[in-house]
Amino acid sequence: MSLIEREIPGVVMTPDNIRSKKLPVVTNVLVAVAAFVVAAAVVLGLGIGNWVLVVVLGAALYLVGLSVVAGRIEGRRAARNRTMKSLIYAACLLAILPLASVVWTLISKGAARLDGDFFGTSMNNIGARDANGGAYHAIVGTLEQVGLATLMAVPLGVLGAIYLVEYGRGKFAATVRFFVDVMTGIPSIVAGLFILSFWVLIVSPWFNDGQPRFSGFAASLALAVLMLPTIVRSTEEMLRLVPGPLREGSYALGVPQWKTILRVVLPTALPGIVTGVMLSIARAAGETAPVLLVAGGAAAINMDPFAGNQQSLSLFVYQQAGDGSKFAPDRAWTAALTLVALVLVLTVSAKLLARRNKLSR
């Protein structure tokens, strides 16, 4: 008898006995059926809930029952393994459930206004009794604001991360890293207020005969403030993952450091950097508060992001959802669906682009 056999009772598999009993599938199904029957009997018999509670209670009973039955048949270790596995699967299902629910709700409710009018017109001169009206101005606004914010935040963020990883030493780098961390926690409304007080109230009057002015650009400034820390942190992590010997291999060829970073380090880390950038873009596209504060929202099409109020998709959703018109909720749902689809398309295409540059394995 081995030490393990002597010391740990109930170990079924030992060097002398490498076979163990397996729980038959029939038994597994029987346990499941029994669990749900008992759950249904308890819940419906006592009248304390409907089918939702039956499913939840049934699932819980099934997990308990399975671990007990498996413990009898398979031994403790196998039963514990089975229980943990079931818990993990259950957690996974629970995590997917809200996501699937959101997607389903968006598609089912947003499909109503998926028409040419929605994508081709604005809300200009649309009254409470008009069924048409669209989000063209909001789509334009979102694309321009997020695009400008990306143009500002990505170079700044990537360069900042390169500094932190490749050049930054000592106190200054530590301070920069600390403040980037702090920036990650800035609520979007605070970023909006900052741009409102700094750009809209102080700087914009210089360009507008002394009058403060809302603009899409102000919104993109606020969004850039929000995107920056995410981009810096994710890029930093990705650059740190590039192995040191790769850099040294390049140095050993007499390649200067800046060129090593540009041609060896960045390409190697590119797919990860793109993922980080896309995450920050997705976040920025969904922000409502800063746009409301500094771009003001609008009903009409405004193609110029540097002058005058501009709408964005998320702000459009917010306004339509709170609107009294009976046609507004449909517009809000479709706009929400559009926003999600837009971010999805951007993310997928960016990933494909980043991968196309890589050699095929």
List of residues contacting another protein (CB under 8 A): 169, 243, 245-256, 259-260, 263-264, 267-268, 270, 357-361
Smallest distance from the beta carbon of 225 to another protein, in angstroms? Answer: 32
The answer for 242, left when phi > 0, alpha when psi is -120 to 50, beta otherwise, is beta
Nearer to another protein, 263 or 326 (CB): 263
Least distance between another protein and beta carbon 359 (Å) = 4
Assigned token pair, 171: 């106190």
CB of residue 346 to another protein, shortest distance in Å: 23
- Output 221 or 273, the one with its CB closest to another protein: 273
| Bridge partners (DSSP) listed for residue 310 | 296
In angstroms, the Cα distances linking 124 to 59, 237, 314 are: 52, 46, 18
d(CA 302, CA 289) in angstroms, rounded, equals 19
Choice between 89 and 251, CB closer to another protein: 251
d(C-alpha 203, C-alpha 212), whole Å: 8
Q: CB 154 → another protein: shortest distance, Å?
A: 20
Q: Which is nearer to another protein, 12 or 270 (CB)?
A: 270
Question: Which among 205, 222, 203 is positioned nearest to 145, based on CA atoms?
Answer: 222
173 residue type, one letter: A
Least distance (Å) from another protein to the CB of residue 254? 3
User: What contacts 43, CB < 8 A, 6 or more positions away?
Assistant: 49, 50, 53, 54, 57
Token couple for 11? 């170990």
CA 307 to centroid of chain Cα atoms: 31
Q: Which residue, 99 or 359, is less far from another protein as judged by CB?
A: 359
Considering the complex, state which of residue 32 and residue 173 has its C-beta at the smaller distance from another protein.
173
> In this structure, are residues 73 and 27 in contact, taking their beta carbons and an 8 Å threshold?
yes
